[in-house]
Structure 1
Amino acid sequence: MAQQIRTTSSSWMRGVATTLTEQGLDAAALFAEVGLAIEDLDDCDRRWPTEALSRLWVLAAERSGNPDIGLAKLDAPRPDNYGVAGYAMMSSPTLLAGLTRLIRYMCLVSDAVTITLEPGDGGRWVRTDVYGGECPIPRQRYDYGVVNLLNLCRWMLDRRLTPLSTRFSHAVPLSIASYNKAFQSPLEFDAPFNGFLIAEQDLACKLTTSAPELAAIHDRIADEALERLVKTDTAHRARTAIAKLLPDGSPLRSAIAAELGLSDRTFQRRLADEGISFSDLIEDVRRELAQRHLADSRMTLTDIGYLLGYADQSTFFRASNRWFGESPGEYRSRVMNGHRREIEAAQQK
């Protein structure tokens, strides 16, 4: 099955490399170990495979002996990590407008990441979802992304922004001291998603970086970059639509094309240009969703089968054996055992 390669921008990867170096690690050696060449960071247009980024964070945590390395350097917000999307965000009038712009342009930073605003008690959740492909998402990658975005919001407001609450989908770590220092808010682990809750009054605040005279220019540059990327990234947008419609059963290609505002013929041609068929795309989305949901012990296998659009459990079990070489229950047990071993190893250090 052909799988879409998710990618991350050089601007974001430069931020990761800087963080590793500041923590005393040999960033170039770590990049090389996961098959990346750090000198390619000089190419602003280069896109980096997202699975390699996950492996990079795993190595960084191991070599540093610091499982909280993703939360390092809290006093150094890096707006340049977001490239042109960051500039468009910074020129916005309010924090809400800035986050809305970032959501629009996030795939310029990484097409493996989506940010959404969702209603919450007293405000809105700034939710981050990461798609990892074959490689499970290490918690350091979520830690880095969530705290990076919060610190950018603080920097644009030029004041200490305290979330109403912060959530992480990974298990509670042995120590939450780094999380308390980073977020200074109530914390929830084993949560349904990763993100932080911002009060409505904070969202309405004016940004100190606001530049109305530059906003249109930044939007135009970002829109042009987005258009160039989307021309070769129809599959990425289709994945979101597929995940949305899957609970009603396997969606028709024409239905997904309509969700994207394309004709069925144009949609089919663009997928062909990207080297992936619609059936492979459906399969790939189901596999990634299965990985995510099976790692959440609160979800039953029946619920997961439903969310993947399978009419019966036997079809789900056959698909799991095709993807992972084992049943859903066996895959879940293996992942959970891996998490337990990680905790035990950390306890022994």
Structure 2
Amino acid sequence: MQTPSVSHDHASVSASITLAVLHAAVRLGLEREALLVSCGLTEEQLVDPDARVPFTIQEHLWQLLGSSLPLAEPGLAIGVNLAPGPFSVLGYLLQSSQTLNDALNVGMRYQRLVGEGGEMHMQELAEGLQIQYRPLHPSLPATRTRVLALMACWVQMFNPLIEDFHLLSAQFAHEQPEDLSPYQQIFACDLQFNCAEYAVVLPHDLRSANLIQANQPLEGLLRQHAEALLARLPSQGLSTRVVALLGEQLAHGEPHRGELARALNLSERTLQRRLTDEGCSYQQLLNDTRRQLAERHLSSGKLPAAEIALLLGYSEPSVFFRAFRQWTGLTPGEYRARHNSPGR
């Protein structure tokens, strides 16, 4: 699985989707005010649907939902309770598209308007069209909840818009759960787990299917608005894209600078020169990414430090322990104990 070209520090999501997630959580029995306080959100931040919320805040919201909802798969329940409207201009633009293929292209172009917590990609397979979602920080527990909600919402959105809408398969990066009934009820197709990507596969002939709510004049107006909103989003520098790629490659061992450069269609020399122009270096970005992910794993989960070391690409836990002490002055155990101490 490749990662999206946005970093955790600068990524943001729309206020409308954050508000929609809160609405869904309330329908499932959670208290809105408590969630807002826990995430550090205010109602004022959510008034304008086109406003932006830091991805770190919404990621914390997903973490809370995953631990607070007494359900086997909280993400699927949230996704079923999300409606197209909360996706603001993109949701309405998808619905007004002429065909499913048009809608998919719209989703690809304007996906950042909803959020920068991941990227959609399409790939032609022999059996059908695969629509992939590559999340930022795929190894974090909150990511499973978030991605399942998104995938369930995809199905909920398109099912009433296309006659005979159906999937050939749904693919998940996590292990197969004991209870498959929530998955079967939503996706109604072949379910595959421990996959390289989170994805759904559609029949090729569905791409030309007309959408029931197609509205060409409205689509044109919405595209103008979407383009204006897209232009307002911050541009993505090379260092941002490198950090995102590093976050994924670390889970498979020590990243290789040459492979990362090739993924960006650059030579190693050009990669280093352009990073220098942005005031950083490959090694600095690697260290910073490892530190951020290490602190996040230690503060938000219960993974043993040795497993975290593997997720960060270290061949030996002792190397990770030494690096972490250099970064923070603490051992991983001391950092976790301090973070989880009463009153924090």
Is the TM value for this pair above 0.5? Answer: yes
Task: Please give the secondary structure, in 2, of the residue aligned with 1:141.
Answer: helix
How has the CA–CA distance of structure 1 residues 63 and 69 changed in structure 2, closer, same or farther, with 3 Å as cutoff? same
Cα distance change of structure 1 residues 195 and 221 upon mapping to structure 2, 3 Å threshold = same
Contact kept? 2:167, 2:188, Cα under 8 Å: yes
Which residue of structure 2 aligns with residue 219 of structure 1? 223
What are the residue-to-residue correspondences of 1:112-127 with 2, within 5 Å? Answer: 112-127=117-132
Amino acid at match of 2:171: R
- Could you report, residue by residue, the CA deviation over 1:208-237 in whole angstroms, capped at 9, with x for unpaired residues? 122222333222221221111044777555
Aligned residues of 1:90 and 1:207 also touching (Cα < 8 A): yes
Residue 107 of structure 2 is aligned to residue 102 of structure 1:
yes
Matched with 1:16 is 21
1:189 and 2:193 are equivalent in the alignment: yes
1:41-80 to 2 correspondences below 5 Å: 41-72=46-77, 78-80=83-85
Aligned partner of 2:159 in structure 1 is: 154
After TM superposition, the structure 1 stretch with the greater mean CA deviation from structure 2, 241-250 or 200-209, is: 241-250
**Residues 213/258 of structure 1: CA separation in 2 closer, same or farther (3 Å cut):** farther
| SS of residue paired to 2:153 | helix
Amino acid at match of 1:9: S
Alignment partner of 1:33 out of 34, 38, 44: 38
Conserved 8 A contact 1:89-1:98: yes
Q: How does 1:235-314 map to 2 (within 5 A)?
A: 236=240, 249=258, 280-281=284-285
| Cα shift at 1:200 | 0.7
Q: 2:26–2:32: 8 Å Cα contact kept in structure 1?
A: yes
Q: 1:203 aligns with which of 199, 202, 207?
A: 207
> Aligned with 1:16: secondary structure?
helix
Name stretches of at least 5 consecutive residues in structure 2 with no aligned partner.
1-6, 250-254, 298-310, 333-344
Gaps of 5+ in 1: 293-303, 332-349
- Identify the residue that residue 164 of structure 1 maps to in structure 2: 168
Give the partner amino acid of 2:92: Y
Q: Secondary structure at the match of 1:20?
A: helix
The structure-2 alpha-carbon separation of the partners of 1:73 and 1:248, relative to structure 1 and needing over 3 Å to count, comes to closer
Greater mean deviation of Cα atoms: 205-214 or 56-65: 56-65
Q: 1 CA distance for matches of 2:90 and 2:127?
A: 27
Equivalent residue runs for 1:131-150 within 5 Å? 131-132=136-137, 135-150=140-155
Distance 2:325 2:105 in 1: 37
Task: For 1:231 and 1:74, locate their aligned partners in 2 and report how far apart those are by CA, in whole Å.
Answer: 29
Residues 67, 140 of structure 1: 8 Å contact kept: no
In the alignment, the residues of structure 1 paired with residue 322 and residue 74 of structure 2 have an alpha-carbon distance, to the nearest angstrom, of 35
Which of 93, 111, 114 is matched with 2:98 structurally? 93
The more displaced of 94-103 and 30-39 is: 30-39
| Native 8 Å contact 1:92 1:211 kept in 2 | yes
Residues 148 and 114 (structure 1 numbering): CA distance in 2 closer, same or farther, change over 3 Å?
Answer: same
Looking at structure 2, the residues matched to 318 and 43 of structure 1 have their Cα atoms a distance apart, in angstroms, of 47
Partner letter of residue 161 of structure 2?
M
Q: Does the CA contact (< 8 Å) of 1:54 and 1:132 recur in 2?
A: no
Q: Which structure carries more relative contact order (alpha carbon 8 Å, separation 6+)?
A: 2
TM-score between both structures, scaled by the size of structure 1: 0.69
The alignment covers a number of residue pairs equal to 301
Label 1:68 to 1:196 Cα distance change in 2 as closer, same or farther (>3 A).
same
Shift of 1:68: 1.8
Cα 1:23/1:166, change in 2 over 3 Å? same
TM-fit CA distance, 1:53: 2.5
Aligned partners of 1:127, 1:84: CA distance in 2, in Å? Answer: 22
State the distance in 2 between where 1:26 and 1:268 align: 47
**Aligned-partner SS, 1:155:** coil
TM-score when scaled to structure 2? 0.70
Give the Cα separation in 2 of the matches to 1:321 and 1:184. Answer: 48
Shift of 1:80: 1.9
Q: Distance in 2 between matches of 1:139 and 1:127?
A: 14
Q: Tell me the alpha carbon deviations over residues 95-121 of structure 1, each in whole angstroms, 9 at most, x when there is no partner.
A: 122111111111111112101111234
Aligned partner letter, 1:192: A
Query: Offset of 1:32 from its aligned partner?
Result: 1.3
The whole-number CA distance in structure 1 between the counterparts of 2:273 and 2:92 is: 36
